[in-house]
Amino acid sequence: MSAIAPKFRFSYFLKSVLDNVFWIVTLFTLIGIPLVMILLFYIELPVINGNKLLDPYLALTTLADPSRQIPMLKSIIHSDFFRITAFPGFGFAALLAAATIFIERKMLAKLQLRVGPFYCGKVEGILQLMGDGLKLISKEIIIPAKADKPIFWAAPVLFVATAAAFVSLIPVASGGWVVADIDVGLLAVFAVIGFFPVITVLSAWSANSKFPFIGGIRALHQMVSFEIPLILSVLGIVILTGSLNLTEIVQSQDHYWWIVFLPIGAIVFFIAILAELERIPFDLPEAESEIVAGWLTEFSGMMYGLVQLGSYVKLYAFAALFVVLFLGGWHGPMVWPPFPEEIIQNGISMGPITLHLPGLPLLDQQMLNDVLWFVIKTMGVIFVILLPRGVFPRIRIDLLLHIGWYKLIGLSFVNIFIALGLLYAGVLGPGGIL
Amino acid sequence: MADTVFLAISVLTIGSAIAALEVRSLIYGSISLMGTLGGIAGYFLLLDSPFVAMFQIAVYIGSIAVLILFTVMLVRRQLIFFKVEDKRRRYAGIGLMLIMMVSLGAIILSSGIKTIQTDAPPIDFRTIGADFLTYYWPALILMALILASSVIGALTLARREDMEDDQRTN
């Protein structure tokens, strides 16, 4: 018998879950399906090859015949909504971010000869993250009594939204697999990054508590001073490619990666990424041994969860930006096997039944190969970002600012001069010999 | 569509500018200042110049508004401000603003802005760069000198002579 919920029985819990399932199924059958059928007559469906994508009279036959669903799936995959929510956009990034959290915990444990998450999901604790998510959702959200409530509520949501805006600028595969392919993509990235210190310091101030405020001020110092080397270190690439569009920057690395010619820029960019992400050794804003949890101290429940999600999505976005700028983006040898021809031509035979599936390769081989290489490179960069956590101690704030303002800016100017030398020597750039 | 967006951005910009002046809380005032600056970036986007818009966001919201916010947070406002509720000052301010806006508007309207083609294609930022290197090179060199001197100044400020301190090793 629990003291918190004395009337709790596990059977009551099961009963309430089953009740909910029953009512959802009933209401969906009685109201939902007829409503969808009615709505389909009013929605303008796209016309492909002279045929309507979905005939409202035959809408439910797609449940019986899978081959009718293929054009629908294709049109969904190529819609803007899918791009923003699922594939190159937020869903993909959140999935990789979740994988990153799990990998970080396991890897850190292995580095310290611990076991790490082990019991959730039986196999190496693979369901730990889901358990943590459920725990965060069910926790109470506590707001400090003297907090500035509108800003305090808005800050986690704004943090996730800014991280999602950052993700939307990253091209993942050739053929336009990017949410927002704009001409000034790199500038837009820096415009979006500029919002993070604002949100951090506002949320820190709004909590009206000592530790968040100290953490917020530290975060502000750190982010603002490392934005300058971050911007300066990629100027070399902009000089050599003559473009600010991220897709064009990736296409320019068809034969060689920029890290080959601009290693100093890559190193400066990587260190600035570590500082912008508040990763160890630059985790002063969240230093748990000094100021509890820094600017995250007063967040609880799902608000804390949102901030964590936002910071890991931001981690993915920065790693992907590093891949796009220095590691050749999606370029790599073709290793993805082609879609089997006989399924396209003869269909799938199972005993007496033959299933014909015309128009089957939903995604072409090139795109899948691109995504494979992009994800491999991005996970590699994320691994290198996570690795210092098991190795380095936290550095002092004056040394941090010294590194940012003094060494990294100087090194990024050296990088710019290397790029200019390569350009004027006629080696690289427009009309170069390579 | 563009008209609706223009109206929305105008309401946002002017509304948050008024809020930035009138709100008693300094933090909310600086947040509304960010709204104003973001609205101006929206105008640049509407005018087909995303290059300027992105710089507007990166510089004004990302740096200057943060600087203002930072300063406001470290200031105890009771020490430097005391409320002066003076009707005459307020009306004088409004009148001064109207005079300024009318005269500026007259200057802009008489400067030949009406002859600008509105359906011209957006100017590529590469064209801006090429213009800077050819026709406007003195301005470019001036800007480069100012920027270089400020960067050198920043480096000099960051480089400090460490006090001799036995407690600490660098």
Within a domain: residue B98?
no
| Domain locations along chain A | 90-332+361-424
CA distance A193 to chain B (A): 8
pLDDT given at position A19: 95
Distance between CA atoms of A184 and A169, rounded to whole angstroms?
10
Distance between CA atoms of A229 and A235, rounded to whole angstroms?
10
* Chain B hits for A201, Cβ within 8 Å: 66, 69-70, 73
Residue A23's pLDDT band (boundaries 50, 70, 90)?
Answer: very high
What residues contact A242, with CB distance under 8 A and at least 6 apart? A429, A430, B126
Within a domain: residue B90?
no
Query: Would you state the structure tokens that stand for residue A274, as one six-digit string?
Result: 């570590």
The number of distinct structural domains making up chain B is 2
> Is A420 at the interface with chain B, CB within 8 A?
no
* Chain B hits for A188, Cβ within 8 Å: 50, 54
pLDDT given at position B115: 73
Give the side-chain half-sphere CA count within 13 A for B66: 27
* Chain A hits for B125, Cβ within 8 Å: 183-184, 244
Q: Could you tell me which of B36, B27, B23 has the C-alpha nearest to residue B70?
A: B27
pLDDT given at position B83: 62
What residues contact A227, with CB distance under 8 A and at least 6 apart? A190, A193, A194, A272, A276, B62
Within a domain: residue B118?
no
CA distance B90 to chain A (A): 29
Angle ∠(A186,A187,A188) on CA atoms, nearest 5:
90
> Which among A198, A227, A409 is the nearest to B61, CB-wise?
A198
Q: Pick from A148, A183, A235, A238 the residue to mutate for testing the B interface (most B CBs within 10 Å).
A: A183
> Is A154 at the interface with chain B, CB within 8 A?
no
Return the DSSP state at B114. Answer: G
- My answer on whether B75 and B16 are in the same domain is yes
**Residue A51 β-bridge partners:** A48
Residue at token pair 């869903």: A91
Query: Would you state the structure tokens that stand for residue A175, as one six-digit string?
Result: 């053929």
Whether B55 and A198 lie within 8 Å, measured CB to CB: no
Whether pLDDT at A24 is above 80: yes
Q: Could you tell me which of B37, B40, B45, B3 has the C-alpha nearest to residue B20?
A: B37
pLDDT given at position A380: 92
| Straight-line distance from the first to the last Cα atom of chain B, in angstroms, rounded to the nearest whole number | 60
- My answer on whether B73 and B2 are in the same domain is yes
> Is B51 at the interface with chain A, CB within 8 A?
yes
Distance between CA atoms of A251 and A301, rounded to whole angstroms?
43
Query: Would you state the structure tokens that stand for residue B4, as one six-digit string?
Result: 């609706």
Pairing, β A348-350 against β A51-52: unpaired
Range of the domain at B42: 1-80
Query: For residues A408 and A271, is the Cβ–Cβ distance under 8 A?
Result: yes
- Give chain A's mean pLDDT: 84
Distance between CA atoms of B19 and B14, rounded to whole angstroms?
8
Query: For residues A94 and A313, is the Cβ–Cβ distance under 8 A?
Result: yes
pLDDT given at position B84: 63
Distance between CA atoms of A249 and A242, rounded to whole angstroms?
9
* Chain A hits for B23, Cβ within 8 Å: none
What residues contact A119, with CB distance under 8 A and at least 6 apart? A125
Q: Which residue has the higher pLDDT, A46 or A16?
A: A16
DSSP H or E run through B55: helix B50-55
Whether pLDDT at A319 is above 90: yes
Distance between CA atoms of B124 and B110, rounded to whole angstroms?
28
pLDDT tens-digit series, residues B21-58:
888 778 888 889 899 999 999 988 888 888 888 888 88
pLDDT given at position A264: 92
Residue A50's pLDDT band (boundaries 50, 70, 90)?
Answer: low
pLDDT tens-digit series, residues A171-230:
988 888 888 888 888 889 998 998 898 899 888 888 888 888 888 888 888 888 888 899
Give the C-alpha distances (Å, rounded to integers) separating A169 from A223, B9, B70.
20, 23, 29
What residues contact B105, with CB distance under 8 A and at least 6 apart? none
Whether pLDDT at B163 is above 70: no
Cβ atoms within 10 Å, residue B54: 27
Cis? peptide before A281, omega within 30° of 0: yes
pLDDT given at position A401: 83
pLDDT given at position B98: 93
Within a domain: residue B56?
yes
* Chain A hits for B58, Cβ within 8 Å: 187, 190-191, 194
Complex ipTM over 0.95: no
Among B44, B64, B80, residue at a domain's last position? B80
pLDDT given at position B11: 92
Within a domain: residue B105?
no
Within a domain: residue B117?
no
Among B80, B114, B140, residue at a domain's last position? B80
B 106-135 → A contacts, CB under 8 A: 124-126
- My answer on whether B65 and B140 are in the same domain is no
Whether pLDDT at A431 is above 70: no
At B142 the three-state DSSP class reads helix
pLDDT given at position A161: 92
What residues contact A182, with CB distance under 8 A and at least 6 apart? A169, A188, A245, B50
Q: Which residue has the higher pLDDT, A52 or A11?
A: A11
**Three-state SS string across chain A, please?**
CCCCCCCCCHHHHHHHHHHHHHHHHHHHHHHHHHHHHHHHHHCCCCEECCEECCCHHHHHHHHCCHHHHHHHHHHHHCCHHHHHHCCCCHHHHHHHHHHHHHHHHHHHHHHCCCCCCCCCCCCCCCCHHHHHHHHHHHCCCCCCCCCCHHHHHHHHHHHHHHHHHHHCCCCCECCCECCCCCCCHHHHHHHHHCHHHHHHHHHHHHCCCHHHHHHHHHHHHHHHHHHHHHHHHCHHHHHHHCCCCHHHHHHCCCCCCHHHHCHHHHHHHHHHHHHHCCCCCCCHHHCCCCCCCHHHCCCCHHHHHHHHHHHHHHHHHHHHHHHHHHCCCCCCCCCCCCCCHHHHHHCEEECCEEECCCCCCCCCHHHHHHHHHHHHHHHHHHHHHHHHHHCCCCCCHHHHHHHHHHHHHHHHHHHHHHHHHHHHCCCCCCCCCC
What residues contact A385, with CB distance under 8 A and at least 6 apart? A273, A274, A277, A279, A315, A318, A319
- Rounded mean pLDDT of A318-335? 88
pLDDT given at position A51: 67
| Straight-line distance from the first to the last Cα atom of chain A, in angstroms, rounded to the nearest whole number | 75
Query: Would you state the structure tokens that stand for residue A84, as one six-digit string?
Result: 């923003």
Within a domain: residue B103?
no
pLDDT given at position B149: 93
pLDDT given at position B160: 65
Q: Where residue B40 sits, what CATH number does that domain have?
A: 1.20.120.1200
- Rounded mean pLDDT of A361-384? 87
Whether pLDDT at A369 is above 80: yes
Within a domain: residue B151?
yes
Whether pLDDT at A300 is above 80: yes
Angle ∠(B109,B115,B120) on CA atoms, nearest 5:
125
Highest mean pLDDT among A6-15, A18-27, A93-102, A193-202: A18-27
Q: Could you tell me which of A215, A184, A170, A188 has the C-alpha nearest to residue A320?
A: A170
At B65 the three-state DSSP class reads helix
> Which among B63, B124, B158 is the nearest to A406, CB-wise?
B158
Q: Which residue has the higher pLDDT, B41 or A356?
A: B41
* Chain B hits for A224, Cβ within 8 Å: 63, 66
